[in-house]
Chain A
Amino acid sequence: MPIKSLSASSLVNFQKYSSMLAGNTAYVPPAYYHLATYTVTGSAETVIEFTNLDTSFASTYKHLQIFAVARSDRSGAHNEPYIIRANSDSGSNYSWHSAYGYGGGSGAGAGANASYLQISDGITSASSATGTFGATLMDIPNAFSTNTYKTFQTLNGYASPGYGITIFNTGNWRNTSAISSLSFEPLIGTNFLVGSTISIFGLKV
């Protein structure tokens, strides 16, 4: 319907605002972004690696969060650790601690001056229930800092009839370089099985 009189429409209410928002709520942009996901498809793979992380994301993101769902081809066991290397560094620059519970008890583990960061019992293997994958929720704060060593913390594990483990892991990579790449591989088995998925998310400041 045509408006014949502007003063009778809602377009003119003579309200004055001291702010450019004119009474509207300020837009707050999202802080949490999906950066990359890799899923093993077709055939099993030995290593999952994300590269160019610093050149692609360092200028925009502060922290990284990683979700991993993984199963390996290790035989005769329900689970196994996987290992992480940053920037392809295989020097003795990693250490970690873990606290775990498996129903029958609890314990702790550690590694010092290792050539990889270990995520203990983070993936399932052949003896676990068919279709059950290990799960990891991992935080890497300040991943692109060039002033501090890099730290990793996880809550991970799996559950299967009669077996299962829940683990808190924390560790570091003693290097002040920004993280440019992250590689993941089973420690004992040879391959990640089809369906294994690792996702990386970035948090802005």
Chain B
Amino acid sequence: MASPSMIPLATITMDTNTQSSIVFDSIPSGYRHLVMRGNILRTTTTSGILVRYNDNAENIYDLSALGANNSASTLTVNETATTGQAFYWVQPGPTEPTPFEITFLDYAQTDKNKTSIIRVGKQTNAVLGTIQVWRKTDAITKINIYSAGSAYDIGTTISLYGIG
């Protein structure tokens, strides 16, 4: 029996330009996957957008990305870091909103590491597909979308949905 899916859980909109973290906390476990969608503006184009789960800062965030920009037909990377480089070469700044979508697969299942699929692009930076793995089997209950080196600007909006 089909059941309605894509249930809105929360939306955060920046009405100041002072915060560098957008946090979704106490995420319920009753869905199969999570989808996050939004537009990001920042006060300056400095560094990138990082993702951290459950406040975990271990060196266990694996990343693979494929993309392209104006000067390089293909951009690829593999790395392991203390935070997930969600956008890598794509660095949101002021005036040009950067749209993105992140799918968090099996986010509450405790039998596997957590994998997310990220799609992001910005006309003046790059377009990118990213696979990110948080090498822990814990259920994700908190997601921090962290802006490194620059605050989120007014108008940034990010929504989180539960699906399945």
Contact = CB atoms under 8 A, between A and B. Distances in A.
Given A106-B66, A159-B64, A37 B164 contact: yes
Contacts of B2: 33-35, 57, 60, 202
Interface of B: 2-6, 32-33, 62-67, 74-80, 103, 105-106, 109, 111-113, 115-117, 119, 129-133, 135, 137, 163-164
A132 B78 contact: no
Given A161-B80, A195-B109, A201 B163 contact: yes
B131 A166 contact: yes
Given A30-B6, A201-B163, A132 B77 contact: no
Given A34-B32, A57-B2, A135 B115 contact: yes
Contact of B74 (A33, A69, A101, A163): A101
A44 interface: no
A57, A105, A197: most-surrounded residue (chain B CB, <10 A) = A197
A32, A156, A163: most-surrounded residue (chain B CB, <10 A) = A32
Contacts of A163: 78
A160 B112 contact: no
Contacts of B32: 34, 37, 67, 197, 199
A141 interface: no
Q: How large is the interface on A (under 10, 10 to 19, 20 to 34, 35 or more residues)?
A: 35 or more
Contacts of B117: 135, 137, 155-156
A103 B113 contact: no
A35 B3 CA distance: 7
Contacts of B77: 101, 103
A131 interface: yes
A156 B115 CA distance: 11
Given A101-B74, A164-B64, A199-B33, A131 B103 contact: no
A102 B64 contact: yes
A149 B65 CA distance: 31
Given A103-B64, A129-B113, A158 B131 contact: yes
A166 B129 contact: yes
A131 B66 CA distance: 23
A164 B115 contact: no
A33 B5 contact: yes
Nearest to B4: A30
Given A30-B5, A32-B5, A34-B3, A158 B66 contact: no
A107 to B, nearest CB: 9
Contacts of B137: 131
A83 interface: no
Given A33-B5, A199-B164, A99 B78 contact: no
A166 B163 CA distance: 23
